[in-house]
Amino acid sequence: MTHVHDSIRDFWDRDARTYDATKSHAVSDPLEAAAWRQALSEALPEPGAKVLDAGAGTGALSLLAAELGYEVTALDLSSGMLANAERKAKERGLEERMRFVVGSATEPPPGPFDAVIERHLLWTIPDPVSALRAWREVASRLVLFEGVWGSRDLLHRARDLAAEALRGLMRTPPDHHARYPEEVLAELPLARLPSPVPLIEAVFEAGWTAVRIKRLRDVEWAAMLHEPRPLGWLEQRPRYALVAGS
């Protein structure tokens, strides 16, 4: 397990060099940023609340939440990713509303927090139920921003192949510096999910209650529009907010 932990950290430390080059990673497109602010506003308590962003990466959601008036703790395993988040916070004058903690998502700061959020993190964790339990100890609301990336039906496979070929023709760089190692993927129970159901089951197993879900259609739409046609359509996948209480 230590080897997997180190491999994951090293992957994201290397990815920190190019991660924000992808607009949806950095949420650098104004329309997509506006869609994410709306999603955060709907899912979180009133502004002023204390929010833990687990797996904050380069700070996309942390920064948007701080803009909205939340007190944000950005937690990430990768010091390289988090250094970029801290730099952007200073550039935007948001450092007083934010703090930055390098560490595992399964060992969050003590809190208490009014909510814990994450975006596309849980698939990277070898024991996601343990992480969800740890978050329940420090926060009273859970907000997961996730997507259906693992559908392998014929249509999605055809779209993936077409998107890969189109990126090659357009010389558009991939979203990450490299593919995730197969030996690491084999240790991640929530990788390549074909639907939200296994994630919902993990949330209940961790002791969260009153789970509800909402499709993030505005985020999908905005992400599609900032990519060249038809690449945005080919790479569009369902995204959703999953909210629960403790």
Q: What are the percentages of helix, strand and coil residues in the chain, rounded to 5?
A: 45, 20, 35
Three-state DSSP at 137 gives helix
Q: Which amino acid makes up residue 9?
A: R
pLDDT in tens, 200-218: 999 999 999 999 999 999 9
Residues 6+ apart with CB under 8 A from 186: none
* Alpha carbon distance 230, 233 (integer Å): 5
What's 153's DSSP letter? S
Radius of gyration of the chain from its Cα atoms, rounded to whole angstroms: 17
* Alpha carbon distance 218, 210 (integer Å): 24
* Alpha carbon distance 75, 134 (integer Å): 13
Name residue, tokens 């814990």: 116
Structure tokens at 36: 């994410």
Intervals of the chain under pLDDT 50: none
Model pLDDT, residue 152 = 66
Model pLDDT, residue 39 = 98
* Alpha carbon distance 96, 111 (integer Å): 17
Model pLDDT, residue 158 = 65
Three-state DSSP at 150 gives coil
Structure tokens at 208: 């969260």
Q: Where are the beta strands (DSSP E) in the chain?
A: 50-54, 71-76, 98-102, 115-119, 141-147, 209-215, 239-245
| CB neighbour class for 49 (10 Å; exposed up to 12, middle 13-18, buried from 19) | middle
* Alpha carbon distance 240, 158 (integer Å): 23
CATH of 2-151+179-229+238-245, one of 3.40.50.150, 1.10.10.10, 3.40.50.300, 3.40.50.1820: 3.40.50.150
Model pLDDT, residue 168 = 75
In the beta sheet, which residues pair with residue 74?
53, 100
CA nearest neighbour of 112 among 143, 137, 132: 137
In the chain, domain spans: 2-151+179-229+238-245
Q: Is 93 left (phi over 0), alpha (psi -120 to 50) or beta?
A: left
Model pLDDT, residue 99 = 97
Q: What is the spatial order of strands in the sheet that 50-54 belongs to?
A: 98-102, 71-76, 50-54, 115-119, 141-147, 239-245, 209-215
